[in-house]
Amino acid sequence: MGERRGHILLLEHNKAIADEIADRLAARGFYVEIVSEVDPALEADIDEGVDVLICDIDMPGISWDAVWEVLTERPLEISAIMLSATSDMVQVMTALRLGFSDYFLTPIDDWDALFNCVGRCMAQSALRRENAAYREQLEQANAELRGNVRMLEQDQQAGRHVQMRMLPQSPLLLGDYVFSHSVIPSLYLSGDFTDYFLVGDRHASFVIADVSGHGSSSAFVTVLLKNLFARKRSDYLHRDDPTIMSPLAMLELANRDLLELGIGKFATLVVGLIDLEENMLRYSVAGHLPLPVLVTAEGAQYLQGEGSAVGIMEDAGYQERELELPAQFTLALFSDGILEILPPKDLVDKEKYFLQVFEESCDSPEQMVSRLGLDKVSSAPDDIAALFIGKRA
């Protein structure tokens, strides 16, 4: 008979008919199990290994609707073929409507039709089992994915908590100067970063950074930058290392460290140092947009500056500029995520609108934030960081 092709359960009380069907199917390579007396519930007779059920609906003790009810309630449906000694059109139509694959009169006179029908039923059963296996694998994969997503969300939430703890006190009062900030991440973790702190007795250093990309890898770079500035501040206080006093030197150091990290990330930065006694500003720009905005009684203007982002090329050049600040001013620095939420479509128009906002809302950072709509942003298309430095006469 060759290789076994499938398991057929034959429910037939007529021994002559059952033997003939079993012999012919066995000759085609099928394994046929004959059951001549069945439990009305059928549960004991149909196991998961059955591929096709051939059922004589005239068997004593059961009815065709009971057969189909049992089949459809099973976890894995089995293809079924109905046998009957009488030709009842209502019975035929009902059986086909309920899902029986075919209907044959006994004794069988068209064996090829039966063999073809059994072959189709075998294929259907094999497909159902494959689909059930795929579904089980998919459900297991989905369960693992949901678990991984929950772990990732927990990790991201923990990372965001750490990032928020890295940010400086807001507001921070240093004599007549007020430093404050706002960070709105597009995801749990942000690639935008800002920091400010006192250096020695008379200087305050500040930085705003926008790391390329989003998520964990970008957030990791913000940790590197935080550590870099904290380390150089400590080196100045304990080793007389003057690097932190030079915005240009800090950009060069950040560029080298990010290149050595080798993770394919770059960052735009503005680094500044304010002499609190002389009211002088020194700053350097590394590819950052929008440029810092200085707001005074005379209006708002962009501070000039240019240079390549850090982390792109080893021989990047930066400039350091010096500016005497007015007795009363607000210096506003933003990451480029702010440009995504401004009403104008064109970049030039966005920059004009940006200055207009500061000219009309220069009384406090809170007014600027409200006018720009940051207080209404729950989720941004890009990370947004804002740093405000103000001095009142």
CATH number of domain containing 13: 3.40.50.2300
120 and 181 assigned to the same domain: no
Does pLDDT of 368 surpass 80? Answer: no
The strand pair at 267-275 and 280-286 is best described as: antiparallel
User: Can you read off the two tokens belonging to residue 167?
Assistant: 């940010």
Mean pLDDT of 280-291: 93
325 and 202 assigned to the same domain: yes
115 and 183 assigned to the same domain: no
pLDDT of residue 117: 92
202 and 273 assigned to the same domain: yes
Among the ranges given (4-18, 87-101, 242-256), the one the predictor scored with the smallest mean pLDDT: 87-101
Name residue, tokens 């964990």: 216
pLDDT of residue 371: 73
Does pLDDT of 69 surpass 70? Answer: no
pLDDT of residue 234: 93
Q: Does residue 351 belong to any structural domain of this protein? A: yes
184 and 302 assigned to the same domain: yes
Q: Which of 96-100, 332-336, 361-365 has the highest mean pLDDT?
A: 332-336
**Residues constituting the chain:** 393
290 phi/psi in degrees, rounded to 5 = -70, 160
- Model confidence at 1, pLDDT cuts 50, 70, 90, reads very low
214 and 311 assigned to the same domain: yes
Does pLDDT of 192 surpass 90? Answer: no
Percent pLDDT > 90 in the chain is: 32
- Model confidence at 336, pLDDT cuts 50, 70, 90, reads confident
Span 251-262, pLDDT tens digits: 999 999 999 988
182 and 126 assigned to the same domain: no
Among the ranges given (64-78, 156-170, 286-300), the one the predictor scored with the smallest mean pLDDT: 64-78
Q: Does residue 211 belong to any structural domain of this protein? A: yes
User: Can you read off the two tokens belonging to residue 246?
Assistant: 């030079």
pLDDT of residue 292: 94
- Model confidence at 98, pLDDT cuts 50, 70, 90, reads low
The strand pair at 52-56 and 31-35 is best described as: unpaired
pLDDT of residue 387: 92
Q: Does residue 82 belong to any structural domain of this protein? A: yes
170 vs 183: CA distance, rounded Å? 11
Given 135, 156, 183, which residue is the final one in a domain? Answer: 135
CATH number of domain containing 380: 3.60.40.10
Given 135, 157, 188, which residue is the final one in a domain? Answer: 135
Q: Does residue 151 belong to any structural domain of this protein? A: no
The strand pair at 203-211 and 384-391 is best described as: unpaired
pLDDT of residue 235: 94
- Model confidence at 187, pLDDT cuts 50, 70, 90, reads low
Mean pLDDT of 249-274: 91
Q: Which domain holds residue 33?
A: 7-135
Q: Does residue 356 belong to any structural domain of this protein? A: yes
312 and 219 assigned to the same domain: yes
Mean pLDDT of 118-139: 87
**Cβ contact 131:77 at 8 Å:** no
310 vs 305: CA distance, rounded Å? 14
Q: Does residue 29 belong to any structural domain of this protein? A: yes
Domain count of the chain? 2
306 phi/psi in degrees, rounded to 5 = -155, 165
325 and 366 assigned to the same domain: yes
User: Can you read off the two tokens belonging to residue 88?
Assistant: 């009842």
Separation in Å, CA 270 to CA 100, 163, 217, 245: 75, 19, 21, 14
Q: State the CB neighbour count (10 A cutoff) for residue 193.
A: 30
Span 32-45, pLDDT tens digits: 999 887 665 455 45
Long-range contacts of the stretch 26-31 (C-beta < 8 A, 24+): 26/1, 27/1, 28/115, 28/118, 29/1, 29/2, 29/3, 29/4, 29/5, 30/4, 30/5, 30/6, 30/118, 31/4, 31/5, 31/6, 31/7
207 and 302 assigned to the same domain: yes
- Model confidence at 67, pLDDT cuts 50, 70, 90, reads low
Q: Which of 354, 355, 370, 361 lies closest to 390 in space, CA to CA?
A: 361
- Model confidence at 118, pLDDT cuts 50, 70, 90, reads very high
Span 215-249, pLDDT tens digits: 677 878 888 888 899 999 999 999 999 999 999 99
Span 140-183, pLDDT tens digits: 888 888 887 787 666 666 666 666 677 888 889 998 999 998 87
Does pLDDT of 211 surpass 80? Answer: yes
- Model confidence at 191, pLDDT cuts 50, 70, 90, reads confident
7 vs 32: CA distance, rounded Å? 6
pLDDT of residue 241: 93
Describe the crossing of helices 89-98 and 64-73 by its angle, rounded to 10 degrees. Answer: 0
Q: Which of 281, 259, 280 lies closest to 272 in space, CA to CA?
A: 281
Whole-model pTM: value is 0.63
Name residue, tokens 């100045």: 236
Q: Does residue 156 belong to any structural domain of this protein? A: no
- Model confidence at 373, pLDDT cuts 50, 70, 90, reads low
pLDDT of residue 350: 84
Q: Is the dihedral of CA 318, 320, 326, 330 positive or negative?
A: positive
Amino acid code (one letter) for 200: G
213 and 268 assigned to the same domain: yes
Q: Does residue 384 belong to any structural domain of this protein? A: yes
Does pLDDT of 132 surpass 90? Answer: no
Given 135, 153, 180, which residue is the final one in a domain? Answer: 135
29 and 120 assigned to the same domain: yes
Q: What are the residues whose beta carbons fall under 8 Å from the beta carbon of 217, sequence distance 6 or more?
A: 263, 265
